[in-house]
Amino acid sequence: MIKIPPHKKTAPATQYQEVVVHLQQLPNAMGVSMLHGFLTGIALGPASVLSKPWLADALGLPPDTDIPDAAKRAVESAIDELTDQFQNGQLHHVLRNWNGQSVYTLQQWGQGFVKAYQLATQDWDARCQQDLGIRDAVNQLKALSDPNTYANLISNSEQLTHDQLYALHKRTPSLIDKLVAAIPMEEPEEDLNALKTP
């Protein structure tokens, strides 16, 4: 898990309203729930992920794009909020709330997490080999993101039943809690506050 340095806040964290405003101006950007899952995957991921064009990916922009300052501030606010959720145990409740709204909302969250995973697949795979608990949680999150592709990671069949999908959605918050507890802190080589892209 990346040790996220404290940000210099000029105002209280803005929840996701500010992020939504800027996402609406960028037609290829991730949706709000997918972005939350993506940033969770970035924060829990290996520090090496920060060398990737992750911010451009989140905003749906080419890797060499000069990210607008307003968009950087919006995503920085989202990271501030996410960090608070990690520290205060609130992420569990956020995911349960989304699960209550729509199965597709939580599935999109899982898709965002997997996108972050794919930015550092080799490092994530090394973690999974070293810790079976991490591997089990990651496999379940993959199945959450795309049951048709990843069902065989958690089931003996190529498809998940309705009951299996329901149970997977219900336990997703606890899967993230397990990852937060299991993944050690890493000092990032990149300055996360600068939100650099290559």
Dihedral (CA of 180, 70, 116, 93) sign: positive
Q: What is the pTM of this model?
A: 0.79
Which residues lie closer than 8 Å to 122 by C-beta, 6 or more apart?
none
- The closest of 120, 107, 121 to 149, measured between CA atoms, is 107
Averaged over successive runs of 10 residues, the pLDDT of the chain (198 residues) comes to 41 55 76 83 81 82 81 73 72 64 77 93 93 94 92 89 87 84 64 46
44 is a domain residue: yes
| Close Cβ partners of 10 (under 8 Å, ≥ 6 residues apart) | none
Does residue 123 lie within any of the structural domains? yes
Q: Give the DSSP H/E element, type plus range, for residue 164.
A: helix 162-182
| Residue 78: predicted pLDDT | 73
Query: Does residue 158 sit within a domain?
Result: yes
Residues spanned by the domain of 57: 17-185
Q: How far is CA 173 from the centre of its chain?
A: 13
Q: Residue 165's domain is classified under what CATH number?
A: 1.20.120
Within a domain: 1: no
Does residue 117 fall inside a structural domain?
yes
DSSP structure class, residue 31: P
pLDDT at 36 (0 to 100): 81
Residue with the two structure tokens 């592709």: 149
Distance CA 117, CA 47 (A): 12
Number of domains in the chain: 1
Q: Please indicate, yes or no, if residue 151 is contained in any of the structural domains.
A: yes
pLDDT at 101: 55
Domain presence at residue 28: yes
Neighbours of 184 (CB within 10 A): 7
What's the pLDDT score for residue 185? Answer: 62
- Residue 2 is assigned to a structural domain of this protein: no
